Chains A and B, each alone.
Chain A
């Protein structure tokens, strides 16, 4: 009984964490939090305000396009755009650049569209319930930044 606390060593954690290697993991997790928080915000708004006059259902398109853009942006690696990956892929370097260009245009477009929806659809007509507009804006902002973090927060340098 005596000395039973002697075996406890505080701060003796064996986690040999190399933060350089962990950058990709942290970026992936942060991007996941952002992206899925965006979607749960819009699910919340859709559940609280299911009526058409409070939350016009066509506004969901914005988030869907933002998700498509996220997938497009992250489908190509930076190596394929630079042209220094081993395989040429489906369309080659030019195809990868066009794909990434379209993906970023859709991403920026959906972010701008969400702001337009918020102001044009909710603020200017002075609707009673503004929360769906705010939810759409935050959904698209989170998805956009989640995409950016997932694309640029990870490094593809295999050798540090």
Chain B
């Protein structure tokens, strides 16, 4: 177990990220809840990496096409989570201030997810018994 402190730190940053997202929706001057659609991207983003790790039994550091495809798709999901608020703001469905708050929340959440992978997911003995 990599440490309770890391877990608590990551959950704190996750809460901060979600706070930014909800501030972008719920503040009085904004009031619309369209930005909550980026939650779909938050949920989808770890899935390609999980699938790639499950499918490839060899953890050697050589080139692994499945893992690279997973990185490609994950990057796409992250880009989409940033693109959606920008398009909503350009179409004036949300205010630009809300867009800024949502993008800040995105950055924090994705760094949190990355932190989870770095702290808990790495290593040769990544096994599903951890769950």
Which residues of chain A have a CB within 8 Å of any CB of chain B? 18, 21, 24-25, 27-29, 31-33, 35-37, 40, 43-44, 47-48, 77, 150, 154-159
Is there an interface contact between B79 and A44, defined as CB atoms closer than 8 Å? no
Give every chain B residue within 8 A of A77 (Cβ-Cβ). 65
B positions within 8 Å CB-CB of A: 61-63, 65, 68-69, 71-76, 79-80, 83, 86-87, 90-91
A32 in contact with B73 (CB, 8 Å): yes
A25 near B79: Cβ-Cβ < 8 Å:
no
Contacts of A36 in B (CB 8 A): 75-76, 79-80, 83
Complex CA distance for A27 and B71, rounded to whole angstroms: 10
Are B79 and A40 in contact (CB-based, < 8 A)? yes
A47 to B84, CA, bound (A): 11
User: Which residues of chain A come closer than 8 Å to B62, judged between CB atoms?
Assistant: 158-159
A24-B68, A47-B91, A154-B68 are contacts. A29–B63 as well, Cβ < 8 Å?
no
Contacts A24-B63, A29-B72 supplied; 4 other A-B pairs, CB < 8 Å: A32-B72, A32-B75, A44-B90, A154-B68
Q: Which residue of chain A has the shortest Cβ distance to B61 in the bound complex?
A: A21
User: A157 and B63: CB pair below 8 A?
Assistant: yes
Within 8 Å by CB of A40, from B71, B73, B75, B83, lies: B83
Query: Would B68 and A43 count as touching, CB distance under 8 A?
Result: no
A158 and B62 CA atoms in complex are apart in Å by: 5
**Nearest CB on B from A2, distance (A):** 22
Kindly list chain A residues whose C-beta atoms are within 8 Å of the C-beta of B71: 25, 28-29, 32
Question: Within 8 Å CB of A154, what residues of B?
Answer: 63, 68
Q: Is the CB of B63 within 8 A of A33?
A: no
Q: Is the CB of B72 within 8 A of A44?
A: no
Complex: A154 Cα to B6 Cα, angstroms? 33
How distant is the Cα of A53 from the Cα of B40 in the complex, in angstroms?
33
Contact check, B75 vs A33: say whether CB atoms are below 8 A apart: yes
> Given A32-B73, A48-B91, A25–B68 Cβ distance below 8 Å?
yes
A33 and B68 in contact, given A40-B87, A154-B63 (Cβ under 8 angstroms): no
- Chain A nearest CB, measured from B130 CB (Å): 21
Please indicate the chain A residues that have their CB under 8 angstroms from the CB of B90 in the complex.
44, 47-48
Q: Which 8 A-B pairs have the closest CB atoms?
A: A32-B75, A40-B83, A36-B76, A28-B71, A36-B79, A28-B68, A32-B72, A158-B62
State whether B63 touches A158 (Cβ < 8 A). Answer: yes
